């Protein structure tokens, strides 16, 4: 794969590609690459660098939010710069593929300890005279020095422009190329949005899934209509209630866990903050990588079903509860709740699961049970032994007293408002019934799920010939 300088030079030497670079705030590095490698006259119509907020407002207008490092500001930049290209240069360059690159960035500084972040995007024509398409990224800048953050931003900006003109038909290569010259500890891409004719045959959710597959992002969140959300915005000031699972497919027990967990979680949230409660089914990448789990249609089906049932959905690369909790705590100071089954609780308190970690069980369990986090336990019925609650779970002897302390401190809470008739519903059994043509699975899922699985032949379902 070619490096950043070679990509910039390749763009410069293509006489059909012509455009503008507009960079405000800390993002002043992308255009520099195109000048440094030579031949920029063949590509660069204009560069714009607006560092002062008043200057930026005079050019692009003041946004409703009053923020400068936001998607709204980026869209204003793309709209203006691409329109100027068309109005001023189209007559002279009738066959050119115009593009406008823009970014708005806040790097970390001496005044703040917050991580740098930024929005960057390209509006471009993938073919001459075609309507423009957009790619927009939100990135976290992870370097601890300002100049390194700027350098990383310059690299990913060049990579993005190059990908728009070379990898538009190859989704995996498009995503992987964005970090070709960057390590994962320098930049995190936590969302990508696309639109326009260049992406007419692509589902934007799959591009975001690629971010998780390559570990370019720690988590992605879809709203109830399947649109991608920036995690920091979605989680800001929220009180998230998380149910982890495969949701292949979503079953009655999943939604009973959510309902009973929600009833308990609400009691721990101030009444004037109930509007900030966020129910979030979450699927870890490890669940998607299970056998039969990572076909695109399968992934989209799970997101579609959960969205249709009124839920936002998170996909993460977090294998453990404590890692996911640490991620959530970066974005919210609100209460965090995890709804777990008895078998999840037993795994949490099984020392064998921590043997390979240098910190051990006490440290990692402590990371989960932070000052703002509680675990809500959905009971299970064990054959011949009745209903099991948190105190009945089989756990390592050395952790029994810790569990008892967490129960007494109300950090582990047993759920009470549940339906015992759902206890014996397991997704793996539902899948086997679907594959075997046993229609009893339809009694184990919401009607919308059953209808959709049958209509679209999901999860191995095969419609019977008439």
Reported as a single tens digit per residue, the pLDDT across 87-103 is 999 999 999 999 999 99
Contact partners, residue 78, CB within 8 Å, separation at least 6: 100, 102, 121, 122, 123, 134
Q: What is the pLDDT of residue 368?
A: 96
Same domain assignment for residues 98 and 244 = no
pTM of the model as a whole: 0.92
Same domain assignment for residues 244 and 209 = no
Task: Provide the domain count of the chain.
Answer: 2
Same domain assignment for residues 178 and 310 = no
Q: Is the pLDDT of residue 465 over 60?
A: no
Final residue of a structural domain among 164, 185, 217: 217
Q: Is residue 464 part of a domain?
A: no
Q: What is the pLDDT of residue 384?
A: 73
Final residue of a structural domain among 161, 190, 217: 217
Q: Is the pLDDT of residue 69 over 90?
A: no
Mean pLDDT score of the chain = 92
Reported as a single tens digit per residue, the pLDDT across 160-180 is 999 999 999 999 999 999 999
Lowest mean pLDDT among 51-60, 112-121, 380-389: 51-60
Q: What is the pLDDT of residue 248?
A: 94
Please count the CA atoms within 13 angstroms of the CA of 198 that sit on its side-chain side. 28
Same domain assignment for residues 183 and 48 = yes
User: Mean pLDDT throughout 185-205?
Assistant: 96
Q: What is the pLDDT of residue 58?
A: 78
Q: What is the pLDDT of residue 54?
A: 80
Same domain assignment for residues 418 and 317 = yes
Reported as a single tens digit per residue, the pLDDT across 109-123 is 666 666 799 999 999
Could you list the residue range(s) of the whole structural domain that residue 49 is in?
4-217
Reported as a single tens digit per residue, the pLDDT across 302-337 is 999 999 999 999 999 999 999 999 999 999 999 999
Q: Is the pLDDT of residue 466 over 50?
A: no
Q: Is residue 124 part of a domain?
A: yes
Same domain assignment for residues 147 and 256 = no
Q: Is residue 448 part of a domain?
A: no
CATH at residue 348: 3.40.50
Q: Is residue 441 part of a domain?
A: no
Q: Is residue 460 part of a domain?
A: no
Q: Quickly state the pLDDT bin for 27 (edges 50, 70, 90).
A: low
Q: Is residue 182 part of a domain?
A: yes
Same domain assignment for residues 183 and 51 = yes
Same domain assignment for residues 294 and 403 = yes
Same domain assignment for residues 239 and 211 = no
Q: Is residue 455 part of a domain?
A: no
CA distances from 211 to 169, 208, 218, 298 (A): 17, 5, 8, 18
Q: Is residue 372 part of a domain?
A: yes
User: Mean pLDDT throughout 193-203?
Assistant: 96
Same domain assignment for residues 205 and 247 = no
Q: Is the pLDDT of residue 193 over 80?
A: yes
Q: What is the pLDDT of residue 191?
A: 96
Reported as a single tens digit per residue, the pLDDT across 416-456 is 999 999 999 999 999 999 999 999 999 999 999 999 999 99
Reported as a single tens digit per residue, the pLDDT across 387-417 is 999 999 999 999 999 999 999 999 999 999 9
Q: Is the pLDDT of residue 229 over 80?
A: yes
Same domain assignment for residues 193 and 240 = no
Beta strands 239-244 and 336-341: pairing type?
parallel
Same domain assignment for residues 278 and 358 = yes
Reported as a single tens digit per residue, the pLDDT across 252-308 is 999 999 999 999 999 999 999 999 999 999 999 877 766 554 678 888 999 999 999
Q: Is the pLDDT of residue 60 over 90?
A: no
Q: Quickly state the pLDDT bin for 347 (edges 50, 70, 90).
A: very high
Final residue of a structural domain among 192, 217, 242: 217
**Percent of the chain whose pLDDT exceeds 90:** 81
CATH at residue 193: 3.90.950.20
User: Mean pLDDT throughout 336-350?
Assistant: 97
Q: What is the pLDDT of residue 320?
A: 94
């Amino acid at each position: 794969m070619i490096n950043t300088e070679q990509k910039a030079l390749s763009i410069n030497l293509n006489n059909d590609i012509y455009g503008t670079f507009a960079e405000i705030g800390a993002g002043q590095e992308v255009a520099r690459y195109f000048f440094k490698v030579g031949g920029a006259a063949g590509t660069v119509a204009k560069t714009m660098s607006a560092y002062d907020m008043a200057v930026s407002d005079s050019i692009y207008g003041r946004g409703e939010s009053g923020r400068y490092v936001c998607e709204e500001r980026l869209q204003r930049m793309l709209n203006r710069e691409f329109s100027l290209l068309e109005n001023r240069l189209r007559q002279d360059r009738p066959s050119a593929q115009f593009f406008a690159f823009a970014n708005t960035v806040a790097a970390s500084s001496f005044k703040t300890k917050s991580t740098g972040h930024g929005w960057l995007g390209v509006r471009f024509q993938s073919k001459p005279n075609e309507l423009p398409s957009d790619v927009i990224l939100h990135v976290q800048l992870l370097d601890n020095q300002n100049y390194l953050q700027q350098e990383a931003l310059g690299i990913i900006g060049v990579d993005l422009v190059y990908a728009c003109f070379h990898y538009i038909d190859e989704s995996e290569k498009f995503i992987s190329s964005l970090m070709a010259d960057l390590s994962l500890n320098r930049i995190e891409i936590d969302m990508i949005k696309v639109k326009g004719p260049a992406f007419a045959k692509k589902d934007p959710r799959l591009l975001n899934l690629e971010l998780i597959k390559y570990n370019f992002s720690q988590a992605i969140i879809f709203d109830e209509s399947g649109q991608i959300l920036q995690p920091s915005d979605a989680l800001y000031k929220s009180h998230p209630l998380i149910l982890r699972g495969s949701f292949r497919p979503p079953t009655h027990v999943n939604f009973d866990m959510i309902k009973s967990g929600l009833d308990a979680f609400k009691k721990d949230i101030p009444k004037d903050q109930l509007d900030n409660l966020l129910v979030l089914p979450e699927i870890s990448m490890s669940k998607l990588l299970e056998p039969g789990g990572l076909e695109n249609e399968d992934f989209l089906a799970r997101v579609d079903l959960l969205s249709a049932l009124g839920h936002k959905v998170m996909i993460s690369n977090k294998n453990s509860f404590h890692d996911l909790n640490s991620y959530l705590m970066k974005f919210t100071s609100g209460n965090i709740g995890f709804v777990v089954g008895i078998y999840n609780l037993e795994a949490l308190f099984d020392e064998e699961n921590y043997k390979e970690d240098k910190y051990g069980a006490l440290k990692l369990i402590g990371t989960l049970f932070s000052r703002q986090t509680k675990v809500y336990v959905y009971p299970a019925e064990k054959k011949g032994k009745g209903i099991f609650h948190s105190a009945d779970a089989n756990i390592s002897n050395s952790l029994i007293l810790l569990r008892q302390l967490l129960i007494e401190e109300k950090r582990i809470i047993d759920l009470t408002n549940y339906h015992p008739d759902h206890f014996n519903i397991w997704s793996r059994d539902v899948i086997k019934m679907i594959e075997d043509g046993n229609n009893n699975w339809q009694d184990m899922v919401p009607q919308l799920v059953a209808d959709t699985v049958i209509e679209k032949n999901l999860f191995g379902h095969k419609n019977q010939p008439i």
